[in-house]
Amino acid sequence: MADPLVLSPTSHKQFRRCPQQWYFRNIERFTMPPPVKVLLGSAVHTAVEHDLLQKVESREDRPTAEVLDRYDGAFDDEIKGGVDEDEPIGKAKDDGVRMLKMFMEGSDKQPAVAPTLQPVWVERATQFRVIKEHVEGCDRGAGCDCGVPFNVTLDMATEDDAVHDLKTTARAPSGGAHLMQVAAGAIGFEVETGRPAQDTVIDTLIRTKEAKYHRESYGRVDEHMKRVFATQVDHTVKMINAGLFPTLGTEGIVPACGSCGYKPICPAWRRRK
């Protein structure tokens, strides 16, 4: 019997980027070594989490050296699990050090980020159902099983009821790139607390030669945005249930293929080559 369909921000974004990627990962269960940038992001995330988890109670940041030590161990552990060496590992690791130093201490051009954040909880997982329309006869009560289960892990909520999500990237992000993840985070926060998030923030560490920080505030997620999110998820679910997994790379959409670990087994990529 097939596993029940449960989506998350990561899997939903992957499907929208390229349904064939999603198919290889979630239907065929092919596992491929992740690119270096993915492991770098995970290690940076682990180091920041190390600082913020204890800050809930202590209200003080850990020394930068301790955070960097946690990063060093996390990065090495990630590499041991296997990696697609699409870029020099040593350079990527150094980029992470620069990003974390800037995050903890700031730079000549940017103030430190960590001291401005006071979390009330960190890394909280929750689940809700994304419902575009209730089926006929549904009483919309507690037992409603319309829509699809959606898992989301909230990186951090702060004292001012803002939901934060940490990203790492090689270049400044384009505006609105994470709208659907922001919507999922806001809904998850409301499920957990019973009140709406007052702000939704993407904190991006940029791995340029001189590390930078970019803060993108989306404000409150309104009902319109929730409907857009539900519609997008509904489209994804309908395509999956219909067995529709087109390969976006066949139309020359390079971003869909650039960091894809499934290129060696993807017929569409071989035709491009």
* CATH code of the domain containing 215: 3.90.320.10
* Amino acid in position 55: K
Residue 8 clears pLDDT 80, i.e. is over it: yes
Residues 150 and 107 in one domain: no
Query: Token pair for residue 31?
Result: 């596992």
Residues 37 and 149 in one domain: no
Residue 97 clears pLDDT 70, i.e. is over it: yes
Residues 195 and 147 in one domain: yes
Q: Is residue 95 part of a domain?
A: yes
Helix (H) or strand (E) holding 121: strand 119-130
Range of the domain at 162: 119-244
Residue 112 clears pLDDT 90, i.e. is over it: yes
pLDDT computed for residue 2 by the predictor = 52
Q: How many CB atoms lie within 10 A of CB 99?
A: 25
Residues 111 and 98 in one domain: yes
Q: Is residue 11 part of a domain?
A: no
| Average pLDDT rounded to a whole number, residues 145-169 | 94
Cross-strand partners of 168? 205
| Average pLDDT rounded to a whole number, residues 52-60 | 97
Query: Token pair for residue 195?
Result: 């009140």
pLDDT computed for residue 253 by the predictor = 47
Residues 46 and 155 in one domain: no
Residues 136 and 240 in one domain: yes
Residues 89 and 186 in one domain: no
Q: Residue 258: which pLDDT band, with cuts at 50, 70 and 90?
A: low
pLDDT computed for residue 272 by the predictor = 59
Residues 95 and 152 in one domain: no
CA–CA distances in Å: residue 213 to residues 15, 40, 112, 143:
28, 16, 9, 44
Tell me the three state secondary structure of residue 231: helix
pLDDT computed for residue 130 by the predictor = 93
Kindly report the pTM of this predicted structure: 0.89
Residues 39 and 130 in one domain: no
The number of distinct structural domains making up the chain is 2
Q: Residue 173: which pLDDT band, with cuts at 50, 70 and 90?
A: confident
Q: Residue 256: which pLDDT band, with cuts at 50, 70 and 90?
A: low
Residue 1 clears pLDDT 50, i.e. is over it: no
